[in-house]
């Protein structure tokens, strides 16, 4: 029988007191286990030998947690013992049902599914979500998935991984294919200078690999070989590419040998002199590694020291990561006075949770604008630099997602003007806590981030004001096609040039008639890929240099159309 709420709180208080006072005896007995989440309605009296499904009645998920049809034994790759106990498929399904009811953001929109109609856990989980759609016609919840816990743990413990240090854009997935380089990691094999020429640069088109025609190969077997070469499995694995660089039809040959690559969150910081003052420019590609805290702070310090009067923040390939670093970045942009006593983001859980985080059981406190290092890679408490800006120019594409969008929303919440240059963002105001049960890790939307103005409805993304999209949150700025002809940071590069133009006179460059800002042809007016011409080339999920929640290609808005 689960404890009722007051009992649970009192028990927690007692445990807390005992743990806190008993620390002198050789290590203390405190545990970090959170108190129990809010209980569901009281269950019916149990009369049978095992759990049963009763429509409309949701027992406490903790009753079914770790009661496994096939219990694991031993420890996981992080050294933690498996908590599994002998149970049944029914208990696993009942746990999913109750856990969803307790923690899913849209719990009231989930059908009450009879577990007896299912013979496996994943299909049951897949159905435990809302079927509502957004204004764009897309599924309200298309972030609902699961994977084996073994895979989840392997992925989060895998960095660094073998790669060349190049991020790919597939502009055409079927013949004639167009595979380009988006950017290269500093210090990686892709960035190596050979005979005065960098191996790969932004915009370099990959034409063939090991003699296989990347552009025209038709068979699935050839595509598999191409993928294997693009994404090497082992350090030292070597492949030879024929490539052409932007602005030339000449080809050259490049041999790349894979090395262990860790993503660099900040790959460029520069100061752009203009007639009206210096403009800072930062390419910030991920909030995920803990090093992102220090790298973005260092970049901002460089710009603060230089005395820039404006900032162009390039988040076009930033798929998100740590909300805390997003908060720190926003503070460094906006400064002390604008952020004082304001909320960067509040995690809004389902209504039944009240002011308690139903996942951790803790009080749901707002995320402030963090003003100091938090200890990821900066010393906890270290002061952060600020630019103290009332406006910021953010470069975006459909890969600008999650924590990147939290920066946009968080700044808009304190009336910092966000000028969006590029294209509609991915539209993910949601988040979750991955949860293992019996060897499967489940991702279900549990919170929506809202800003200081209590706004977080950007499931269709933020969109520049001159866009033809009929949905998305309209934001000052310009639609501009991602430009693979120029390097990131080059003032001729289309998005950066547009930001500087908008800053100068408030105007946008003209978009070619009939053109979508999306270069991939995945939406808008471009034609769909024709798979009768040959097998479709797709990036493995996810690209080792791409941490995009929806695993989409650049400019692919999860199928949304204008």
Partner 1 sequence: MKNPIKLILSAIATLNLVTACTTAQTSEPATLTRSDDTTLSRVKSVLAEAMGRNDIRLGAGDLTEETSLTVLPPSLGPLETSSPSIPIPFDIVTDGRHCFVVRRETGEKYRLSDVNCVAAPRAQASAI
Q: Which residues bind partner 1 (CB under 8 A)?
A: 5-6, 9-10, 13-14, 16-17, 19-21, 23-28, 30-33, 75, 78-80, 145, 152, 155-157, 159, 287-290, 294, 319-324, 347, 367, 373-381, 401-403, 406, 428, 430-432, 434, 443, 449, 542, 547-549
Smallest distance, partner 1 to C-beta of residue 482, A: 20
| DSSP H helical ranges for 110-202 | 121-127, 149-156
- Sign of the Cα torsion 537, 553, 493, 283 reads negative
> Of 346, 331, 271, 262, nearest to 296 (Cα)?
331
Cβ contact 242:253 at 8 Å:
yes
> Of 98, 47, 135, 236, nearest to 562 (Cα)?
135
Looking at the Cβ atoms of 145 and 176, the one nearer to partner 1 is 145
Q: How many CB atoms lie within 10 A of CB 395?
A: 29
140: tokens are 């309200």
Looking at the Cβ atoms of 173 and 374, the one nearer to partner 1 is 374
Contacting residues for 221 by C-beta, under 8 A, at least 6 apart: none
Looking at the Cβ atoms of 5 and 391, the one nearer to partner 1 is 5
Looking at the Cβ atoms of 79 and 236, the one nearer to partner 1 is 79
Cβ contact 323:406 at 8 Å:
yes
Looking at the Cβ atoms of 162 and 542, the one nearer to partner 1 is 542
Looking at the Cβ atoms of 249 and 380, the one nearer to partner 1 is 380
Looking at the Cβ atoms of 136 and 402, the one nearer to partner 1 is 402
Interior angle at CA 506, CA 501 and CA 508, nearest 5? 60
The helix (run of H) or strand (run of E) holding residue 436 is: strand 435-437
Cβ contact 214:500 at 8 Å:
no
Cβ contact 160:140 at 8 Å:
no
Smallest distance, partner 1 to C-beta of residue 393, A: 22
Phi, psi for residue 227 in degrees, rounded to 5:
-60, -40
Looking at the DSSP bridge assignments, the partners of residue 450 are 346
Smallest distance, partner 1 to C-beta of residue 378, A: 6
- CA torsion angle 342 347 352 357 (round to 10): -100
Cβ contact 96:113 at 8 Å:
no
Phi, psi for residue 448 in degrees, rounded to 5:
-120, 135
SS3 assignment, position 303: helix
Smallest distance, partner 1 to C-beta of residue 543, A: 9
Smallest distance, partner 1 to C-beta of residue 408, A: 13
Smallest distance, partner 1 to C-beta of residue 126, A: 16
Looking at the Cβ atoms of 50 and 375, the one nearer to partner 1 is 375
Looking at the DSSP bridge assignments, the partners of residue 270 are 281
What is d(CA 389, CA 418) in angstroms, rounded to the nearest whole number? 11
Looking at the Cβ atoms of 53 and 432, the one nearer to partner 1 is 432
Smallest distance, partner 1 to C-beta of residue 546, A: 9
Looking at the Cβ atoms of 121 and 294, the one nearer to partner 1 is 294
Smallest distance, partner 1 to C-beta of residue 507, A: 33
Phi, psi for residue 68 in degrees, rounded to 5:
-110, 145
CA distances from 358 to 36, 91, 318 (A): 9, 21, 29
Smallest distance, partner 1 to C-beta of residue 124, A: 20
Smallest distance, partner 1 to C-beta of residue 224, A: 22
Pair type for strands 238-244 and 251-257: antiparallel
Smallest distance, partner 1 to C-beta of residue 19, A: 5
93: tokens are 């399904």
Smallest distance, partner 1 to C-beta of residue 231, A: 14
DSSP state letters, 501-527: HHHHHS--PPPPTT--S-TT-SSTTSP
Interior angle at CA 141, CA 52 and CA 458, nearest 5? 145
SS3 assignment, position 101: helix
Looking at the Cβ atoms of 98 and 288, the one nearer to partner 1 is 288
Contacting residues for 527 by C-beta, under 8 A, at least 6 apart: 521
Smallest distance, partner 1 to C-beta of residue 483, A: 25
- CA torsion angle 391 395 400 403 (round to 10): -30
Looking at the Cβ atoms of 1 and 21, the one nearer to partner 1 is 21
Looking at the Cβ atoms of 181 and 324, the one nearer to partner 1 is 324
């Amino acid at each position: 029988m689960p404890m009722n709420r007051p009992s649970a709180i009192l028990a927690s208080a007692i445990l807390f007191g005992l743990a806190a006072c008993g620390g002198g005896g050789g290590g203390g007995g405190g545990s970090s286990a959170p108190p129990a989440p809010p209980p569901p309605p009281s269950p019916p009296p149990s009369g049978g030998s095992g759990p049963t499904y009763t429509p409309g009645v949701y027992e406490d998920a903790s009753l079914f947690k770790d009661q496994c049809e096939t219990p694991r034994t031993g420890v996981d790759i992080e050294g933690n013992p498996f908590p599994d106990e002998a149970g049944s498929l029914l208990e696993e399904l009942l746990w999913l049902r109750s856990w969803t009811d307790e923690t899913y953001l849209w719990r009231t929109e989930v059908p009450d599914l009879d577990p007896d109609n299912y013979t496996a856990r994943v299909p049951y989980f897949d159905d435990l979500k809302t079927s509502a759609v957004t204004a764009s016609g897309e599924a309200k919840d298309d972030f609902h998935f699961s994977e084996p816990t073994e895979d989840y743990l392997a992925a989060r413990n895998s960095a660094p991984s073998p790669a060349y240090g190049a991020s790919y854009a597939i502009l055409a997935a079927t013949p004639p294919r167009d595979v380009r380089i988006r950017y290269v990691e500093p210090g990686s094999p892709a960035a190596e200078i050979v005979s005065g020429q960098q191996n790969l640069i932004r915009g370099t088109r990959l034409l063939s690999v090991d003699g296989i025609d990347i552009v025209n190969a038709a068979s699935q077997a050839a595509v598999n070989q191409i993928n294997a070469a693009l994404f090497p499995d082992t350090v030292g694995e070597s492949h030879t590419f024929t490539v052409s660089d932007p602005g030339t039809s000449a080809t050259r040959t490049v041999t790349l040998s894979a090395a262990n690559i860790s993503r660099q969150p900040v790959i460029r910081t520069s100061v752009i002199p203009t007639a009206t003052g210096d403009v800072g420019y930062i390419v910030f590609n991920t909030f995920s590694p803990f090093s992102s805290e220090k790298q973005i702070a260092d970049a901002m310090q460089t710009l603060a020291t230089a005395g820039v009067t404006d900032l162009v923040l390039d988040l076009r390939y930033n798929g998100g990561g740590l909300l805390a670093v997003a908060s720190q970045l926003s503070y460094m942009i906006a400064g002390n006075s604008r952020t004082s006593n304001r909320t960067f983001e509040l995690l809004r859980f389902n209504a039944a949770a009240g002011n308690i985080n139903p996942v951790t059981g803790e009080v749901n406190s707002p995320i402030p604008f963090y003003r100091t290092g938090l200890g990821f890679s900066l010393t906890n408490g270290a002061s952060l630099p600020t630019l103290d800006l009332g406006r910021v120019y953010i470069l975006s594409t459909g890969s600008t997602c999650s924590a990147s969008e939290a920066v946009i929303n968080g700044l808009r919440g304190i009336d910092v003007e966000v000028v969006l240059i590029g294209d509609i963002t991915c539209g993910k105001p949601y988040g979750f806590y991955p949860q293992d049960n019996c060897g499967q890790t489940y991702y279900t939307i549990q919170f929506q981030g809202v800003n200081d103005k209590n706004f977080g409805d950007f499931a269709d993304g933020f969109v520049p004001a001159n866009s033809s999209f009929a949905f998305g949150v309209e934001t000052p700025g310009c639609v501009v096609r991602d430009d693979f002809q120029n390097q990131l940071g080059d003032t001729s590069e289309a998005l950066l040039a547009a930001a500087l133009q908008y800053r100068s006179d408030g105007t946008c460059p003209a978009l070619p008639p009939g053109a979508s800002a999306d270069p991939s042809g995945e939406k808008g007016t471009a034609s769909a890929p024709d798979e009768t011409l040959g097998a479709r080339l797709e990036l493995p999920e996810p690209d080792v240099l791409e941490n995009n929640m929806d695993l989409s290609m650049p400019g692919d808005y999860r199928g949304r159309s204008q």
